[in-house]
Amino acid sequence: MSQAVFVAGVGAISAIGKNVAECLDALENSRAGIGHMHYFNSLHRERLPVAEVKMSNDELAQLSGLPTTKSRTALLSMIAATEALTDAGIENLAAFRTGFISANSVGGMDKTENFFAEFLSDNQRGKLRDVVHHECGSISELVADQLGIKEYVTTISTACSSSANSIFFGARLIKNNILDVVVAGGTDALTKFTLNGFNSLMILDEQLCQPFDENRRGLNLGEGAGYIVLVSEKVAAFLKKKPVVTLSGYCNANDAYHQTASSPDGTGSFLAMSGALKKSGLQPADIDYINLHGTGTQNNDIAEGTAIRRLFDPRYPKMSSTKSFTGHTLGGCGGIEAVFSILAIEKGIIYPNLRLQTPMKELPFTPEINFIKNIQVKNVLSNSFGFGGNCTSLIFSKS
């Protein structure tokens, strides 16, 4: 059994950049990607800000190599997964047992919604090709086929923890000598279904979100994709660019408190974080940075904060929510934030929690508000907490 799982490559596309370098530049210069709708069409376009990827479907298709007829979810996935594999620099992928474990929560719904708008007005209209790839697994299969990955392909859909779960499932497959290389992460595009659904829960902010602020009002939905390439020790030894980060800990827990709300005392969050620490063999004092789930809703932030206080008091690591930049990308957030967590270790940086003005009165700590560089970051905890109480924490460590 492999004792270590290394991160060989990273790839991301989000509202703040079409690749990792652009995302990193936006993070360093505090440029959020949240604003008025431009490409996404909604009745709420004048009221609700979103974090769109700043490219049309035609532009995304050209960048991805997929046809323009494919879902935006698939286009985003293809771009980020390709970047991650290129970054890994594995010369002969076919020589290894390779898997693609991808997460999403909307599938090809952006195309399906267009179909039904036409079909409901006239049942002789609407293009059936827009509904063929509706379900979540179809998105993963499209991208895996394009990447040439056939040994193992699967999809995970556990709401906001989806891509974090795909990453640690990939690590388990490597540790148990089932696969040598795994491209793991997730993707989601903006859809009317998700926007209207979150709006019905009354947890969307009509202004730019303020995670972990006393006066937070809700979240901003976003879109994007993030993937990392996980490899075994054997594969890592053959790479020209030697990996410097491992996935050292991971845990999934469920508090079963409510369909869409976290338990007020943060039970699921605490179990996920403490379980990841136990898996890694680290102590709370060893964590240098927490990439918070930090959606900006009243419920989520106090639940996560309460769990952090319970686990880390009295020594708190630096922490921030990068959703203040990217919005909440649902099935893609765990993958995108895994990329950001890995970069924090590789570059020795900490990201700011944008628009934090008034610290939460219930919590004895305050997230960072400035970009910090030239700092030693050895261990990063990345949180992804989803609907139904499905909570996942990942720990990345310098090897």
pLDDT per position as a tens digit, 284-308: 999 999 999 999 999 999 999 999 9
Q: Give pLDDT tens digits for 94-106.
A: 999 999 999 999 9
| DSSP type of residue 374 | S
Q: What is the pLDDT of residue 1?
A: 57
Q: State the Cα torsion 162-168-170-171 to the nearest 10°.
A: 170
Q: Give the pLDDT band (50/70/90) at residue 126.
A: confident
* Residues labelled catalytic: 160, 293, 328
Contact between 337 and 20 under an 8 Å Cβ cutoff? The reply is no
pLDDT at 287: 98
Please give the backbone phi and psi of residue 305, each rounded to the nearest 5 degrees, phi first: -65, -40
- In the block, tokens 């697994």 appear at 137
pLDDT digits (tens, 9 = 90+) for 332-348: 999 999 999 999 999 99
Return all residues near 341 (Cβ < 8 A) that are at least 6 apart. 289, 291, 380, 382, 394, 396
The string of pLDDT tens digits covering residues 271-286 is 999 999 999 999 999 9
pLDDT given for residue 131 in this prediction: 85
- What pLDDT is recorded for position 265? 84
> Which tens digit of pLDDT belongs to each residue from 37-90?
999 999 999 999 999 999 999 999 999 999 999 999 999 999 999 999 999 999
| Residue 179 Cα to chain centre, angstroms | 23
Token pair, residue 43, equals 């009745």
pLDDT band at 122 (very low <50, low <70, confident <90, very high): confident
Mean pLDDT of the chain: 95
Distance CA 133, CA 139 (A): 7
Residue in this structure with the two tokens 């240098």, named with its chain if needed = 288
Q: What is the largest CA-CA distance in the chain?
A: 65
Question: What structural domains does the chain harbor?
Answer: 6-238 (3.40.47.10), 248-398 (3.40.47.10)
Residue pLDDT, tens place only, 246-274: 999 999 998 887 776 777 888 999 999 99
Residues 110-138: what's their mean pLDDT?
84
Phi, psi of 19 (to 5 degrees): -155, 180
Average pLDDT over residues 213-222: 98
* Rounded-to-integer distance, Cα 230 and Cα 181, Å: 6
Helix axes 333-347, 20-28, angle to 10 degrees: 70
Q: How far apart are the first and last CA of the chain?
A: 18
